[in-house]
Structure 1
Amino acid sequence: MTDLGLPSIPPRRDLSMGDGLAFAAHGHHFTAALGTSIEALTQRAEAPLSVITQVTKRCDFDCTFCSETFQLPDPTLKQLETIRDNLKGTKRIFLSGGEPLMRKDFGDIVDMYADENFVLAVPTNATHGLQHAKRIAGKIAFANIGLEGPRGITNRVRGDYDKVMPGVRALLDAGIPISLSAVVYRSTLAALPFTVQIADVLNAGKVKLIMPLRKGNALNLAKHEFITDDEANEAFGRLTELRATMQWSPAIRLTTWTPENEGHMIVVEPNGKTNAWPVYDQKDLLLPIGNMLEEPIQEIWKRYPYKENHFRKYLGTSIRTAAHSGGGNAAA
């Protein structure tokens, strides 16, 4: 990779999580011991692998695909402490939004959750990276940056590319590993190689390609922008070939909305309401399964109906992958 003055992020050792599971910190994914079945893991599990906790619904972008258009007040630090305590037993927590770094007290939130034995990750547009990077460095496993590719594409579908990149560099300068995620439209397919090239230059661990869901702002997208699963898989195949030819280092992941991926995410809203997402026949694609302000995750997990889908997704068996040379299953 060309030296552009960006820091070199050293590989991190896998973190053993017990039950035949590990988290590969530099690869940003879960792995299971060879021969371990999804069914066995699901039967033994008393809590999920990964939970998304929304610390705010506010955002400084208005992405054309955004599903989080319904606003709620931010949870207080006391409420987030209760949610944290009720999440004990979960392997990884995404401190999410909205745009989580818009909270001025985000460093306090990270400190609060870092006190527990969670792997922490932060999905962000990075526009507030300059304010928070040094405070959260060494406490989160990685930041996942939303970026649809070069300036023109990102500006059209997400927000201001020139506000994103300084924040990304601040996160990298602080030694925080990053990954990229891109929502794929028909009109952004041509940008995908550039997205992976940017990820390679930034030493990102992976690029996540995600299909838009018909919710929120995406309800206003033209129908032709939604590509089929077959088209997505064809595009992924072409991108994988380019990755090999160009020797790009980031892993590439593709998530399409198949029955095997239905309901695989557990999302805690700012009011504690906890949902399986996306559930295709539910209003707003959310299936309520409890409230994290009122009960522990173990009780909610008992009635969560998508356990196998959850493990398949986060161990990479229900998504398309083009992995690091080190190999292994991978998760979002």
Structure 2
Amino acid sequence: MTMLGMPAVPPAPPQVAGPVAFTAGHHFTVTGAASIEELAEAATVPLSVILQITKRCNFDCSFCSETLQLPDPTLPELDTIRSNLAGVGRVFLSGGEPLLRRDFGDIVDMYSPDFILGIPTNATRGLQHAKSMVDKVAFVNVGLEGPRATTNRVRGDYDQVMSGVRAFLDAGLPLSLSAVVYRSTLHALPFTYQIADVIGAGKLKLILPLRKGNALGLEANEFISIDEAGRTFDRLMEARSTHDWRPALRMTCWTPETEGHMILVEVTGKASAWPVYDAPDLLEPLGNVLTEPVTEIWKRYRYKRNHFAKYLGASIRTAANAGAPASDGHVGA
């Protein structure tokens, strides 16, 4: 059976009929007594899919895994993909940098009636596209590694990013932040959390880099261990309590419990489980949503439990936004 009757319309947090809901912290939560295993076994479609609408980007992030350049999918191709993703709860319209597409507003209009939409972006085209997302996307997720010097070194132009953030705020769009964590950026994380709090972000998502693309050129010392990641999370939780920071905090580490949890749809329609550690380019092919429905892709997907566990916060470190119940913060809990 299909698990989710989605979506509802932003800007209010979308509510989902069934055992899973989408929260003000911009993540899923279980509303009933079903276990992760029961939810995964009963589902016929994913909770969430990442759809690349372009490979192009105007930044050259030092951690970027998406360095292969391919032509953008056409609007008719994206409409076919939309139809074949029927039943999926949330779709990330991703890239590359998705807002580089001049027809980005048309794509949002195409997908917003059928899905909860998340938009991962570097925000540099925020002024051009903010209005096209109002009342159509659940949240915009802006990549930011910290204050100006840190973001400039790791990602790209901090001032361009913050200009886009201000445009999103002026339009009333719900925001979250994500930061890729290096050893050399650990000192900046409290400032990143402070920025997230100042802009009223629903969550701050911390991600460890994967050894692919540009990240293959990172010094080995930049990759922190799982234990270090845990201590980092705990220190941020202590600071959160001290400073009363409100955004939800989530940290994804690359462990057996999170392997393959994402379903990535590339610009060609090719769907893959990601990241699969022993697979070429960390991608395990599942099929193509230009030619078949996601229900068939799901049947071949062997990480169903990891998918549900990660997106429901059971295999990552997580703490809810202020005023909501928090988990104990342990990986795999």
Alignment TM-score, normalising by the size of structure 1: 0.94
2:17 maps to 1:17? yes
Correspondence list, 1:1-332, <5 A: 12-18=12-18, 20-24=19-23, 26-116=24-114, 118-324=115-321, 325-327=323-325
- Code of the residue aligned with 1:154 in structure 2: it is T
Partner SS, residue 260 of structure 1: coil
Shift of 1:323: 1.5
- Code of the residue aligned with 2:20 in structure 1: it is L
- Structure 2 spans left out of the alignment, 5+ residues: 1-9
Sort the Cα spacing of 1:192 and 1:222 in 2 relative to 1 into closer, same or farther, 3 A: same
Question: Can you list the C-alpha shifts for 1:245-267, whole angstroms capped at 9, x where unaligned?
Answer: 00011111110000000000000
How far apart are the structure 1 equivalents of 2:14 and 2:243? 27
How far apart are the structure 2 equivalents of 1:262 and 1:316? 14
How far apart are the structure 2 equivalents of 1:271 and 1:236? 37
Question: Can you list the C-alpha shifts for 1:73-104, whole angstroms capped at 9, x where unaligned?
Answer: 00000000000000001000000000000000
Shift of 1:322: 2.0
State the identity %: 66
- Code of the residue aligned with 1:49 in structure 2: it is L
- Code of the residue aligned with 2:22 in structure 1: it is F
Shift of 1:328: 5.9
Sort the Cα spacing of 1:219 and 1:90 in 2 relative to 1 into closer, same or farther, 3 A: same
How far apart are the structure 1 equivalents of 2:199 and 2:112? 26
Partner SS, residue 270 of structure 1: coil
- Whether the 8 Å CA contact 1:17–1:91 is kept in 2: the answer is no
How far apart are the structure 2 equivalents of 1:225 and 1:139? 38
How far apart are the structure 2 equivalents of 1:199 and 1:12? 19
- Whether the 8 Å CA contact 1:30–1:314 is kept in 2: the answer is yes
Shift of 1:327: 2.1
- Whether the 8 Å CA contact 1:31–1:328 is kept in 2: the answer is no
Partner SS, residue 261 of structure 1: coil
How far apart are the structure 1 equivalents of 2:11 and 2:324? 11
Partner SS, residue 17 of structure 1: coil
Flag the structure with more relative contact order, 1 or 2, with Cα contacts below 8 A and sequence separation at least 6. 1
The match for 1:6 is none
How far apart are the structure 1 equivalents of 2:207 and 2:11? 26
- Structure 1 spans left out of the alignment, 5+ residues: 1-9
Alignment TM-score, normalising by the size of structure 2: 0.93
Runs of 4+ in 1 over 4 A off after TM superposition: none
Shift of 1:182: 0.3
Shift of 1:17: 3.3
Shift of 1:164: 0.5
How far apart are the structure 2 equivalents of 1:162 and 1:297? 39
How far apart are the structure 1 equivalents of 2:31 and 2:110? 31
Shift of 1:21: 1.2
Aligned residue pair count: 318
- Code of the residue aligned with 1:150 in structure 2: it is P
- Whether the 8 Å CA contact 2:53–2:72 is kept in 1: the answer is yes
How far apart are the structure 1 equivalents of 2:154 and 2:326? 32
- Whether the 8 Å CA contact 1:123–1:143 is kept in 2: the answer is yes
How far apart are the structure 2 equivalents of 1:120 and 1:67? 22
Shift of 1:33: 2.0
- Whether the 8 Å CA contact 2:14–2:138 is kept in 1: the answer is no
Question: Can you list the C-alpha shifts for 1:132-165, whole angstroms capped at 9, x where unaligned?
Answer: 0011111000000000000000000000001001
